[in-house]
Amino acid sequence: MAKKYQIVGVGNALVDVLAKCDDAFLTEAGIDKGVMQLIDTDRAAELYGKMGSAQEVSGGSAANTIAGIAALGGRTGFMAKVRDDQLGAIFAHDIQAQGTDFSTRQAPHDHATETGRCLVLVTPDGERSMNTYLGVSSEMSANDLDVGMLANTDWIYLEGYLFDSPANQAAFYMAANATKPAGGKVSLTLSDPFCVDRHRDAFRAFVKDHVDLLFCNEHEMQALYQTETLDEALDIAATEVETVACTASEKGAYILNSGEKIHAKANPATVVDATGAGDMFAAGFLHGLASGSDLLTCGEMGCVAAGEAISHMGARPETDLKELFAQHNLA
Amino acid sequence: MAKKYQIVGVGNALVDVLAKCDDAFLTEAGIDKGVMQLIDTDRAAELYGKMGSAQEVSGGSAANTIAGIAALGGRTGFMAKVRDDQLGAIFAHDIQAQGTDFSTRQAPHDHATETGRCLVLVTPDGERSMNTYLGVSSEMSANDLDVGMLANTDWIYLEGYLFDSPANQAAFYMAANATKPAGGKVSLTLSDPFCVDRHRDAFRAFVKDHVDLLFCNEHEMQALYQTETLDEALDIAATEVETVACTASEKGAYILNSGEKIHAKANPATVVDATGAGDMFAAGFLHGLASGSDLLTCGEMGCVAAGEAISHMGARPETDLKELFAQHNLA
């Protein structure tokens, strides 16, 4: 019998707060361009006070991926921690509105930390500099997981950013242990090379012991295995993980599977691995897997979905991905 | 000595919650297309539950106008009521981030009604159907006004939508009485023909006794004076108000001033009076007044700013209005 879910995500619940700025603003505010930095409550208040008028859109890396799969018609669930506040309600509404079952053990209204948010500064060149206040999201522990949902899915998809919180890391082990005995498989995205640097040993152990499908880009892959070249890193990965899907910007994506190396070309118009693009690459790829496509087709679906993501503000798809796939003869 | 402010707005504090939908959704949800409807707490919860994934952007009609004037470099202030909650913080941040002084007697965190919001459903034809939950905004009373700010501005700009709340209406009289003795002038926008229908007598009395500059579109003008033609309505208005700026969609705008009738052509690309366009027409016009332009130039500035507003999601300007005015030789 088919399981209730094809993909269940476990990740941060974040609302993106997007504002435009120029490069001088980044310098003055001490923001490293184009990367994700974790910030605390005080820094979040200070930076928000300096930022221009913004728009709020539900975000979170794995949540974006799950929203993309839902938009493609996949049966999806998502787990993350929000507080009972207005931003938490916005996050919960948006992911459910796209057809995903959202499971959260909401922190009460008077809980000290609020629903998490990501202050995203967009420079005229389209680059996004992300400043993440994790808030209550960092407190998601093994106790917050919905074990019933984990036992009833073909795949779980774990967000590497959660390695920044010890409580979250413990939740990952628990999630894998609830999924695998029920016949489900585990996928993980490395999320960010700096995140990998901060938690290299924990990542390597978890990847080797529990991960069936690893998503990453070339920088994350080399950060994980500390090699000079991408090929060396891929060689090590191939011995430790069943399947690796590694994006490489304009070179497209490389998929390793049981000794086989498959190359999916990037769409000429797409820039795989620009922020948000990685989330949608995973969405396209996992949709392909869930619908029984071969790995090359999965990779091509990832590249097409990634191209859509980088064409607008906000990481979640705005055009009809099903139609877009049809235009590229992917189904 | 120049006053501290050129324009101070008094209006609703709303966060727009924008989602796309098709026409069938409007029918099923019982929403009248293209108009503004007031909704209560229960209806707001029901409708939000049905709506798709959304984005949040600060809104409010007069607040949009003030944000537009601030973007043009005007010295602006704004008064509205929010609660001490996350949406209230978003509203306050966004209007201040554009350089406007925001004065609010914030309701405490545990106050029964939340910061107001407008659920905006955008159909594929670009029309917006607005469902407004006023929340704490409807409670703004005369006591909430910042009299010091009102006495220190050349113009106040009042939002007609506030006539839907008796407390708000009383605040209007108080605002006019705080502004005029200090040498300031009063402008009002009629906001919506249905709002005018609901409060015709109150509007006519306030307009006749207190308003120096009346903003409206042709439908609102005819609703106010209940005439067969726009010209008849304009004739009555001319006897009761010093200056009238009446937009008329693709026909542009008519400005009446002490017996004189001035016509500002619409930009070929602009559709004055589409939702949000009215707010920006007022912004362009008031900016012209504040910078000493003649009334024809004020009208042309209004039409150019309105054209910008209808070119994107969200009512506040996204392109550089100063540069846009320069391109049209308006300065």
A33-55 pLDDT tens trace: 988 999 999 999 999 999 999 99
Q: At what angle do helices B61-71 and B295-309 cross, to 10 degrees?
A: 110
User: Which residue, among B51, B56, B64, B313, would best test binding to A if mutated, counting the most A CBs under 10 Å from its CB?
Assistant: B56
The Cα of A91 is separated from the nearest Cα of chain B by a number of Å equal to 9
Which token pair is A300? 């091509």
- Across the interface, of B52, B55, B97, the residue whose CB is closest to A52 is B97
Residue A122 tokens read as 């967009």
3-class DSSP assignment, residue A307: helix
Complex confidence, ipTM:
0.91
pLDDT at residue B309, as a whole number:
84
Cα gap B2→A74, rounded to integer Å: 62
CATH of A5-11+60-107+135-327 among 3.40.50.1370, 3.90.1280.20, 3.40.1190.20, 3.30.1520.10: 3.40.1190.20
Instruction: Find, in chain B, the residue whose alpha carbon is nearest to that of A56.
Output: B56
The pairing of strands B55-58 and A55-58 is antiparallel
Per the model's pLDDT, the better-predicted residue between A306 and B4 turns out to be: B4
Sort out which chain B residues have CB atoms less than 8 A from A56's CB and list them: 55-57, 90
Quickly count: other Cβ atoms within 10 Å of residue B329's Cβ: 8
Residue to mutate among B86, B318, B319, with most A CBs inside 10 A, is B86
Residue with tokens 């990542």: A203
Find the closest chain B residue to A67 by CA distance. B53
**Residue positions counted in chain A:** 331
Which residue in A20, A21, A53, A121 has the most chain B C-beta atoms within 10 A of its own C-beta, making it the best mutation to test that interface?
A53
Select from A53, A85, A93 the Cβ nearest to the Cβ of B97: A53
For residues A195, A199, A203, A204, the Cα torsion angle rounded to the nearest 10 degrees is 120
Q: Tell me: the pLDDT tens digits for B304-321?
A: 998 888 777 777 887 888
Residue A221 · residue A246 · CB < 8 Å: yes
Q: Say which of B53, B57, B85 has its CB closest to residue A86.
A: B85
Amino acid at A114: E
In B, which residues are within 8 Å of A58 by CB distance? 53
A16 touches chain B (CB under 8 A): no
**Whole-number pLDDT of residue B70:** 96
Q: Where are the domains of chain B?
A: 5-12+61-109+135-327
- Torsion B142-B143-B146-B148 (CA) sign: positive
Give the per-residue pLDDT at A159.
97
Determine contact: B49 vs chain A, CB below 8 A.
yes
Q: Tell me the pLDDT tens digit for each residue of A178-208.
A: 999 999 999 999 999 999 999 999 999 999 9
A243-289: per-residue pLDDT in tens? 999 998 888 999 999 889 999 998 765 555 566 889 999 999 999 99
Q: Place domain B5-12+61-109+135-327 in its CATH homologous superfamily.
A: Ribokinase (3.40.1190.20)
Residue B19: partners with Cβ closer than 8 Å, 6 or more residues away = A97, B51, B52, B53, B54, B55, B119, B120, B121, B122
Contact B55 A55 (CB under 8 A): yes
Each residue of B75-97: pLDDT tens digit?
Answer: 999 999 999 999 999 999 999 99
| DSSP string computed for A234-261 | HHHHHHH-SEEEEE-GGG-EEEEETTEE
Q: What pLDDT was estimated at residue B273?
A: 55
**pLDDT value at position A151?**
97
**CB–CB contact B87 A85 (8 Å):** no
Determine contact: B56 vs chain A, CB below 8 A: yes
Nearest chain B Cα distance for residue A239, angstroms: 41
Phi, psi of B228 (to 5 degrees): -75, -40
The residues, any chain, with a CB within 8 Å of residue B239's CB and separated by 6 or more, are none
Q: In whole angstroms, what is the distance from residue A84 CA to residue B29 CA? A: 27
